[in-house]
Amino acid sequence: MVGRCGVVLALAAAAVLAGARSFAAIGEWIADVPQWVLAALGARFDRRRHYLVPDESTVRRLARQVDGDLLHAAIGAWLAAHTPRPSR
């Protein structure tokens, strides 16, 4: 399971990849994410097993605390490790 910060960062990254360009747009995109996506990312759930979404203010607070260069390097390394090499 991914930590809470990881879930929020993954959701924010997916929102940006989907075209969100502001914290408001990221928050709106996250609010519309299907439950199965939240489950796959390891989101927390309530007593009824309804997966919880972070709100815009949570995304904004976390973004202020993240080292952008370190996040960029981590995402780049993950992509490199998961990208198939071209066959010759």
Please state whether the predicted TM-score (pTM) of the whole model is above 0.85.
no
Query: 65: number of CA atoms within 13 Å, CB side?
Result: 10
pLDDT in tens, 38-78: 998 889 889 898 999 998 999 999 989 989 899 889 888 88
Quick one: pLDDT at residue 87? Answer: 81
Number of domains in the chain: 1
The answer as to whether 59 is a domain residue is yes
Quick one: pLDDT at residue 1? Answer: 44
The answer as to whether 85 is a domain residue is no
The answer as to whether 75 is a domain residue is yes
The answer as to whether 86 is a domain residue is no
Closest CA to 66 of 3, 6, 1: 6
Q: Domain range holding 75?
A: 4-80
The answer as to whether 36 is a domain residue is yes
What percent of the chain clears pLDDT 70, i.e. is strictly above it? 97
